[in-house]
């Protein structure tokens, strides 16, 4: 009797140490099932994946471990886009950026779990971001490494405001940009164009027009623009390149982009975790999607030589 009571107490303590773990896991799994743009998840058996990871979450001893398992589960899809960010990583990468609330109203009526970041976790967002801006030979060079970190837009916007009077034009370097969020794409695009360049083709919801943010008024950067692209440009970075080309706003140098235009939408959990789910495919407002065909350059050159060629083009444009 005493031994049975001790086991019961140990079990109760273990369960008490895991409040909400399985509930949070189930929501993350369910979200992909309900909103991922390709119903078969590229052949992934999502039910089997869910059962396997749920069993591991049931044994987890911390929120950090739960989030790590959910992130690993999301990578099983293998699309190179869909990802899961724990609250501390979401803050580091996305800042105060907007995201969509989970499409399950009951979640927002429940108590928010208290989640503590593990030691050193605040640095985990360092893999994203790192935009560059510099003036060289009368041209403003803007390097955009991804469309995930909110800081990238701020770096570009501040550089344009500061240096616009002294330059003849801009180089926007998208080479090897893996893409990211539709929101960041729309903000960066608004620096150069305004309007409604895209439509987002969603699963079961048809096509939704997508504007630049903001979509009214004059863009801040109105001088000639050259864009550098290669086969490493994916997702929302292709959407950005495609919109600039559709508007006739830039001349493109390099190689055709990847033709992989899945669009990531960020979904917020009440405690601050964020699921990045490929919920649609980007396409121009009219015409075929860039999926499978990419964005072609105006001048096909070795990507290593694209920058020097773009600078020559911009300097010649002022004559």
Q: Which domains does the chain show, CATH number per domain?
A: 1-78 (3.30.750), 128-317 (3.90.226.10)
264 Cα distance to chain centroid: 5
pTM of the model: 0.80
pLDDT in the model for residue 236: 94
**Rounded to an integer, what distance in angstroms lies between the CA atom of residue 113 and that of residue 118?**
15
3-state SS assignment for residue 199: strand
Read off the pLDDT band of 12 (50, 70, 90): very low
pLDDT in the model for residue 111: 84
Q: What is the CA radius of gyration of the chain?
A: 22
pLDDT in the model for residue 18: 65
- Would you say residue 3 has pLDDT above 60? no
Give the rounded percent of residues in the chain with a pLDDT score beyond 70: 90
Reported residue count of the chain is 319
- Would you say residue 181 has pLDDT above 70? yes
Q: How does pLDDT run across 182-241, given as a tens digit for each residue?
A: 999 999 999 999 999 999 988 776 788 999 999 999 999 999 999 999 999 999 999 999
pLDDT in the model for residue 7: 42
Residue 267 pairs in a beta bridge with 100, 275
Which segments of the chain are extended strands (E)? 83-85, 100-101, 132-136, 139-143, 169-173, 198-202, 206-210, 225-229, 251-254, 262-268, 274-284, 299-300
**Rounded to an integer, what distance in angstroms lies between the CA atom of residue 79 and that of residue 84?**
13
| Per-residue tokens: 143 | 């390097």
pLDDT in the model for residue 33: 96
**Rounded to an integer, what distance in angstroms lies between the CA atom of residue 290 and that of residue 234?**
10
DSSP letters for 175-201: TT---BBHHHHHHHHTTT--S--EEEE
| More confident site: 244 or 89 | 244
Mean pLDDT of 158-179: 97
Mean pLDDT of 286-303: 94
Cα dihedral across residues 226, 172, 240, 38: positive or negative: positive
- Would you say residue 6 has pLDDT above 50? no
pLDDT in the model for residue 97: 65
pLDDT in the model for residue 110: 83
Read off the pLDDT band of 1 (50, 70, 90): very low
- Would you say residue 127 has pLDDT above 80? no
Cα distances from 107 to residues 17, 72, 83, in angstroms, run: 21, 23, 20
Read off the pLDDT band of 117 (50, 70, 90): confident
90 Cα distance to chain centroid: 11
Mean pLDDT of 235-255: 97
- Would you say residue 144 has pLDDT above 50? yes
Mean pLDDT of 97-107: 86
Read off the pLDDT band of 259 (50, 70, 90): very high
Cα dihedral across residues 281, 286, 289, 293: positive or negative: negative
Read off the pLDDT band of 5 (50, 70, 90): very low
């Amino acid at each position: 009797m005493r031994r049975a009571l001790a086991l019961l107490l140990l079990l109760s303590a273990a369960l008490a140490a895991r409040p909400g773990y399985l509930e949070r896991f189930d929501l993350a799994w369910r979200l992909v099932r309900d909103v991922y743009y390709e119903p078969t998840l590229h052949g992934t058996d999502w039910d089997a994946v869910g059962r396997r990871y749920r069993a591991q979450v049931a044994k987890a001893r911390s929120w950090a471990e739960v989030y790590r398992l959910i992130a690993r589960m999301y990578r099983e899809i293998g699309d190179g886009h869909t990802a899961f960010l724990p609250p501390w990583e979401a803050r580091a990468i996305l800042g105060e950026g907007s995201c969509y609330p989970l499409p399950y109203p009951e979640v927002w009526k429940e108590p928010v779990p208290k989640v503590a970041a593990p030691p050193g976790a605040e640095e985990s967002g360092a893999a994203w971001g790192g935009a560059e801006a510099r003036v060289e030979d009368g041209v403003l060079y803007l390097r955009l490494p991804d469309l995930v970190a909110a800081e990238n837009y701020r770096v570009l916007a501040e550089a344009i405001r500061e240096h616009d009077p002294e330059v003849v034009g801009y180089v926007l370097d998208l080479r090897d940009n893996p893409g990211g969020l539709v929101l960041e794409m729309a903000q960066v695009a608004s620096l150069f164009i305004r309007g409604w360049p895209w439509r987002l083709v969603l699963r079961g919801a048809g096509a939704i027009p997508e504007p630049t943010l903001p979509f009214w008024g004059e863009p801040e950067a109105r001088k000639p623009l050259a864009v550098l692209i290669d086969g490493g440009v994916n997702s929302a970075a292709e959407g950005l390149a495609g919109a600039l080309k559709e508007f006739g706003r830039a001349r493109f140098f390099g190689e055709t982009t990847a033709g992989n235009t899945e669009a990531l939408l960020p979904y917020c959990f009440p405690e601050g975790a964020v699921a990045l789910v490929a919920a649609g495919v980007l396409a121009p407002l009219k015409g075929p999607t860039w999926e499978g065909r990419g964005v072609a350059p105006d001048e096909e050159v070795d990507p290593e030589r694209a920058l020097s060629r773009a600078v020559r083009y911009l300097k010649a444009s002022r004559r």
